[in-house]
């Protein structure tokens, strides 16, 4: 028993399909009240559900919004996803989800799939990469997106424009002031930390990571500090843990030798990495903030109960998702500027300097 069709409803109501269509969906023309009533009753009794595919085909617009994330289980992305979902609901759209693991090649595939489904717009979250290995992938992704835009699609990007994308019509990027905020974080940390700074970064070439590293170094410089050492690792908890282990060994060695520069201030470029690093230190018997300061970035909600409370930079993730989705709605140039987002350096216990340990 297949779902009933508009035609069936029309027949039961004794009207033409055209009329039925007009009353069941908002058309410019509104049939008479009595007819409308009849049609609505017929639809009701048949349990009529319009076929969105057919509707989409007919008016070439699908009511779909494609969302591309690296990993939906990552709290960073799921927070953004919530914002996107919210905005989509407001626009009466449904969201199509694609997770790609962050490789441009997979992202290209996802874009193509969205294009095939005639998604009205696409939101891409997740860091862009400039790694040489991703170069071809980036080019193809950019080409795919450009084509999508040329065909009338609108795309919203979180963070950086897609590498190599020509700034064609329909592009909207929600700028995240990673660099500025990282600099500000560095400045505030520098005020209380005499010891060396270490940056636990993601893979080189990951734009978000690179920006935060650069900003942090600038902030350090502005505060008259020497640049921090940068350790590259995975952009996730495991990466942070790995770096943390290295650091733990070093700290313990320093402590054993009574060297001056123990108790480093560690800046991990995102909260999840920071947690990983902290876990590594702890598993080596070190304590935070006694033996090291740790700061992250993002202010992931689920991690706010972490102890010691993590110093970080609050980013309005959900809002960012909203803006990215909203930016693809209608309008145009004007809202590009409105797409700016602000964060907030948030110092907590993990970077407190114990008075008794002061230099």
Partner DNA sequence: ATAAGTCGGGAAAGCGCATTCCCACCGCTC
Partner DNA sequence: GAGCGGTGGGAATGCGCTTTCCCGACTTAT
Q: Applying CB under 8 A, does 199 fall inside the site for its own copies?
A: no
CA atoms within 13 A on the CB side of 262: 19
Q: Applying CB under 7 A, does 41 fall inside the site for DNA?
A: no
Q: For residue 65, is the peptide bond before it cis, meaning its omega torsion is within 30 degrees of 0? A: no
Instruction: Tell me how far apart the terminal alpha carbons of the chain are, to the nearest angstrom.
Output: 79
CA quadruple 209, 210, 214, 215: dihedral sign: negative
If the CB atoms of residues 29 and 132 are measured against DNA, the closer one turns out to be 29
DSSP code, position 216:
H
Query: Site for its own copies (CB under 8 A): which residue of 35, 97, 139, 175?
Result: 97
Query: Site for DNA (CB under 7 A): which residue of 41, 44, 54, 192?
Result: 54
Alpha carbon 29 to chain centroid distance? 42
Q: To the nearest whole angstrom, how small is the minimum distance from the Cβ of residue 158 to its own copies?
A: 15
Q: Binders of its own copies among 299-338, rule CB under 8 A?
A: 300-303, 305-307, 318
Q: To the nearest whole angstrom, how small is the minimum distance from the Cβ of residue 167 to its own copies?
A: 18
Q: For residue 272, is the peptide bond before it cis, meaning its omega torsion is within 30 degrees of 0? A: no
If the CB atoms of residues 196 and 284 are measured against its own copies, the closer one turns out to be 284
Query: Site for DNA (CB under 7 A): which residue of 7, 283, 302, 331?
Result: 7
Which one of 20-28, 90-98, 157-165, 217-225 is the stretch in contact with its own copies (CB under 8 A)?
Answer: 90-98
Residue 120: CB partners within 8 Å, gap ≥ 6?
61, 62, 63, 64, 65, 93, 153, 154, 328
Distance CA 348, CA 290 (A): 14
Query: Site for its own copies (CB under 8 A): which residue of 5, 91, 103, 112?
Result: 112
Query: Distances from the Cα of 205 to the Cαs of 76, 171, 202, 232, 246, in angstroms?
Result: 19, 23, 8, 10, 22
Query: Distances from the Cα of 98 to the Cαs of 1, 35, 77, 101, 123, in angstroms?
Result: 32, 43, 12, 10, 10
**Owner of token pair 């592009």:** 171
Query: Site for DNA (CB under 7 A): which residue of 45, 60, 283, 331?
Result: 60
If the CB atoms of residues 2 and 73 are measured against DNA, the closer one turns out to be 2
Which one of 45-53, 162-170, 172-180, 324-332 is the stretch in contact with its own copies (CB under 8 A)?
Answer: 45-53
Which one of 130-138, 173-181, 297-305, 332-340 is the stretch in contact with its own copies (CB under 8 A)?
Answer: 297-305
Q: Applying CB under 8 A, does 81 fall inside the site for its own copies?
A: yes
Q: Using CB under 7 A as the criterion, which residues of the chain lie in contact with DNA when the complex forms? A: 2-3, 5-7, 14-19, 21-22, 24-25, 27, 29-32, 34-35, 48, 50-51, 54-55, 57-60
């Amino acid at each position: 028993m297949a779902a009933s069709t508009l035609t069936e409803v029309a027949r039961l109501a004794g009207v033409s399909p055209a009329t039925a269509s007009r009353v069941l969906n908002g058309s410019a023309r509104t049939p008479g009240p009595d007819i409308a009533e009849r049609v609505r009753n017929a639809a009701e009794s048949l349990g009529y559900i319009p076929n969105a595919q057919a509707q989409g085909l007919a008016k070439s617009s699908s009511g779909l919004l494609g969302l591309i994330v690296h990993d939906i289980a990552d709290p960073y992305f799921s927070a953004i996803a919530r914002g996107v979902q919210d905005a989509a609901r407001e626009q009466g759209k449904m969201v199509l989800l694609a997770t790609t693991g962050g490789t441009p090649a997979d992202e290209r595939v996802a874009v193509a799939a969205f294009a095939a489904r005639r998604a009205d717009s696409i939101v891409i979250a997740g860091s862009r990469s400039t790694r040489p290995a991703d170069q071809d992938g980036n080019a193809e992704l950019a080409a795919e997106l450009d084509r999508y835009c040329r065909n009338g699609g609108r795309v919203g990007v979180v963070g950086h424009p897609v590498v190599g994308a020509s700034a064609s019509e329909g592009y909207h990027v929600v700028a995240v002031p990673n660099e500025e905020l990282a600099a500000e974080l560095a400045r505030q940390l520098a005020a209380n930390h005499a010891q060396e700074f270490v940056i636990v970064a993601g893979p080189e070439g990951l734009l978000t990571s690179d920006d935060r590293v650069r900003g942090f170094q600038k902030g350090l410089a502005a505060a008259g500090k020497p640049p921090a050492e940068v350790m590259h690792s995975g952009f996730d908890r495991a990466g942070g843990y790995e770096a943390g282990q290295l650091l733990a060994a070093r700290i313990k060695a320093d402590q054993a030798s009574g060297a001056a520069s123990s108790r480093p201030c560690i800046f991990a470029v995102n909260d999840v990495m920071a947690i990983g690093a902290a876990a590594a230190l702890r598993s080596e018997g070190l304590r935070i903030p006694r033996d090291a300061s740790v700061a992250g970035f993002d202010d992931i909600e689920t991690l706010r109960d972490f102890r010691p409370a993590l110093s970080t930079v609050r980013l309005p993730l959900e809002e960012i998702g909203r803006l990215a989705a909203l930016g693809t709605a209608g309008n145009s140039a004007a809202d590009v500027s409105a797409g700016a987002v602000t964060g907030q350096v948030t110092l907590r216990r993990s970077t407190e300097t114990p008075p008794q340990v002061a230099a």
